[in-house]
Amino acid sequence: MAPRLIGMVHLGPLPGAPNFDGDFEAVLKSACADTTVLTEAGFDAIMVENFGDSPFFSDDVPKITVAAMARVVTTLRRQTGLPIGVNILRNDALAALAVAATCGASFIRVNVLSGTMYTDQGTITGRAADLARMRAVVGPEIEVYADVFVKHATPPPGSTITLVAADTYLRGGADALVLSGTATGAPADLEQFAQVRAAVPGARLVAGSGASAETIGGILEYADGAIVGTSIKVGNQTTAPVDPAKAAAFVKAATRF
């Protein structure tokens, strides 16, 4: 069964990143602590992301980042029985798939699977063809969660969310479509969920930002699931640890729907 509630594990700066302080063990310890909280709160899955590595490369991260992500995912895989997702920012889908396939993760998130988006990393163009062929060889069971009009980005003139969603799902090979707000933690436009649902009725839709204990009920009227991070952190700060009380409250709120 596809995970309905996915909790974020936002990693601190990894080796090689500008803000890495030299203590990778502390990054691992923090990731393990967040994973424990999310598991005990009743989340269905976790998503691991190199959030602290900004400024990000567009689509080809250094080898040290891939190695660090592999160690993190392997460590968390041994700790929890929950499915694990991998997102390597900004858009290194091939590296995410490689880590998932070798470390036992269940799915990956791809910010731009097909088409083009304009971002602070420059123009990012999806590599759906390369990813599909690699997945067929190394991990056909690994699911691809693909963003549509990903946050912190601007679509090309003339693009519509329904056309991009259809292309991403029907031609790009996505297993689930992720719709988010304009930035990390920003609420998604629920009207866009309705539009995408009408355009691609068979697609699984996931909210990629803005979910909280207060909003999850409304989100689940339109979406099949949600990825949550900022609203369950201490002080609602994305880089802070997961707050056990907020995580539990989120899951409790979601189970009513």
Determine if the pTM surpasses 0.85: yes
Question: How confident is the model at residue 257, as a pLDDT?
Answer: 86
Q: Give the tens place of pLDDT for each residue, 146-200.
A: 999 999 999 999 999 999 999 999 999 999 999 998 888 888 899 999 999 999 9
- Nearest in space to 206 (alpha carbons), one of 10, 6, 1, 45: 6
Contact 135, 144 (CB under 8 A): yes
Return the structure tokens found at 117: 């988006």
Question: How confident is the model at residue 188, as a pLDDT?
Answer: 86
Q: Give the tens place of pLDDT for each residue, 19-62.
A: 999 999 999 999 999 999 999 999 999 999 999 999 999 999 99
Contact 150, 112 (CB under 8 A): yes
Return the structure tokens found at 161: 């969310």
- Distance CA(114)–CA(108), nearest Å, equals 15
Domain range summary for the chain, segments of one domain joined by +: 5-254
- Distance CA(228)–CA(216), nearest Å, equals 10
Superfamily of chain region 5-254: FMN-linked oxidoreductases (3.20.20.390)
Q: Give the tens place of pLDDT for each residue, 64-117.
A: 999 999 999 999 999 999 999 999 999 999 999 999 999 999 999 999 999 999
